[in-house]
């Protein structure tokens, strides 16, 4: 029996394998699932592809356009209230994590050092909490001993995790 694998069928249809997988799951493409893999009978798939091109009916393009309409880009005015709410919540959570005994001048010095490194190196630096303020295992405090200066990339790849 002559069959296409998912990758071969996607190459033939000039689309991404994930798109073809979704079409197969929605039964818009003649395909069979064997175990965890999709297989496409070569004759049926080629016939489906030829018919699709002759009729001008392109389910790949139609699905893309439908999803594009659904996820219309938000305007800045629509997004702004959510962003303001997020940052207000973040600042409030950080304020709750500053104990009375914290050395606020030392904390401010760490933020100034991050800004100076950003200006000198031309690479954005962040002040990171070594133990996250809202961790899964443990929650840290906003104190000078729990702060470190990291490059933006390193801080974002850390992703609010702490490894003891």
Residue 14 lies in a domain: yes
Q: How far is CA 13 from CA 52, 95, 147, in A?
A: 10, 55, 52
Residue 163 lies in a domain: no
Would you state the torsion angle of the CA atoms of residues 91, 144, 130, 140, taken in this order, to the nearest 10 degrees? -60
14 and 61 fall within a common domain? yes
**pLDDT tens, residue by residue, 2-54:** 899 999 988 888 788 888 888 888 888 889 999 989 999 999 988 888 777 65
Q: How many domains are contained in the chain?
A: 2
**pLDDT tens, residue by residue, 130-154:** 888 776 667 788 888 888 898 888 8
Range of the domain at 17: 3-70
Residue 164 lies in a domain: no
Q: Which strand (E) or helix (H) includes residue 8? A: helix 6-13
Two tokens, residue 20: 């073809």
86 and 139 fall within a common domain? yes
Does 162 score more than 80 pLDDT? Answer: no
Of 47, 70, 93, which marks where a domain is finished? 70
Residue 137 lies in a domain: yes
Distance CA 63, CA 20 (A): 11
């Amino acid at each position: 029996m002559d069959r296409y694998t998912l990758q071969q069928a996607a190459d033939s249809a000039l689309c991404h394998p994930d798109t073809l997988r979704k079409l197969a799951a929605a039964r818009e493409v003649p395909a069979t699932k064997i175990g965890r893999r999709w297989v496409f009978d070569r004759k049926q798939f080629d016939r489906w592809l030829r018919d699709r091109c002759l009729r001008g009916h392109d389910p790949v393009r139609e699905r893309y356009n439908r999803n594009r309409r659904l996820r219309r880009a938000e305007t800045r005015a629509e997004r702004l209230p959510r962003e303001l709410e997020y940052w207000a919540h973040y600042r409030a959570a950080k304020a709750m994590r500053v104990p009375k005994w914290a050395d606020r001048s030392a904390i401010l010095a760490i933020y100034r050092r991050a800004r100076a490194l950003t200006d000198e190196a031309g690479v954005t630096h962040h002040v990171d909490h070594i133990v996250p303020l809202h961790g899964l295992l443990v929650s840290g405090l906003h104190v000078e001993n729990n702060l470190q200066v990291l490059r933006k990339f390193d801080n974002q790849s850390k992703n609010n995790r702490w490894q003891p």
